[in-house]
Structure 1
Amino acid sequence: MKAETLIFGITTVFFALVAPAYWFITYDPTGTSALTMTTLLVGMVTLYLGFHARKMDPRPEDLQEGEIADGAGELGFFPPYSWWPLWCALTLAVMVYGVAFLAWWLVIIGGALGSLALCGLIFEYYRGEHAH
């Protein structure tokens, strides 16, 4: 993760230099604030990656003498198919549709069904076929 930290660190420095230059060239407060927020967000990712890179053992791709075979084996848990993200997206679409057309009853219905869909998504691996 040290390589990722370096990449995000360079990006943070780039945006930190571009934001004031953009202000002095254009005097545009909207673009300057967007570049400033981008600088802060990329800096936050840099700090997060740097903090965790110091606490982790080096990955095979972080080692100078690393081989392709060093990365072999199980990579982690990848969830199987799931219908819950579809229902969460549909209920969010109903809520956005309700806000756009000022149909607050649709927002309430979408929120109620969305809370059920979100609970199903969160607790999907606690019961049923894919329980741990």
Structure 2
Amino acid sequence: MSVESRIFEICTAFFFLCAIVYGVLSHEVVGIACLTLTGGLSLIIGTYFRFVSRRLEGRPEDNPDAEVSDGAGDMGFFSPGSYWPIGLAAGATMVAVSIAYFMVWAIVISVVVLLFMIGGLLFEYHLPPSH
């Protein structure tokens, strides 16, 4: 995960540099705070990736001399045909619209629908087969 941590470290430096330049040119407190907090969040993610990369064995992405064939192989299991992501998107949309219009009854219903869809996606292959 060295590549990912390097990307976030570069983003962190960019955001802090932008905050300094923005502060010098505009003297606006809100923009300076937003850019500084963005740099801080990027620093947190980059630091996390740096700590995780120390515990993992080297990946082909981290080796500059790696070949494309070094990354070949099984990448994991991906569901060939699942309808749960569509329901998950619909549930998330319902939550967002309910919050936007602040309809408390709709927020409650949409959160229940969203949790049901998350559970369905999570346990899709962990349920016993139906006969």
Same fold (TM over 0.5): yes
Q: Give TM-score scaled by structure 1 length.
A: 0.80
Aligned pairs for 1:1-16 (under 5 A) are: 1-16=1-16
Please state if 1:70 is matched with 2:106. no
Runs of 4 or more, structure 1, over 6 Å off, are none
Please state if 1:123 is matched with 2:123. yes
Q: Percent identity?
A: 34
Hey, what's the Cα distance between the residues in 1 that align with 2:36 and 2:11? 12
Please state if 1:37 is matched with 2:40. no
Aligned residues: CA RMSD? 2.2
The alignment of Structure 1 onto Structure 2 pairs a total of residues equal to: 129
Q: Give TM-score scaled by structure 2 length.
A: 0.80
Give the secondary-structure state (helix, strand or coil) at the position aligned to 2:73: coil
What's the CA shift string for 1:48-91, capped at 9, x where partnerless?
A: 11111112211123224322222221122223332222222223
Matched residue type, 1:87: G
Hey, what's the Cα distance between the residues in 2 that align with 1:91 and 1:7? 33
Structure 2 segments unaligned to the other structure (5+ residues): none
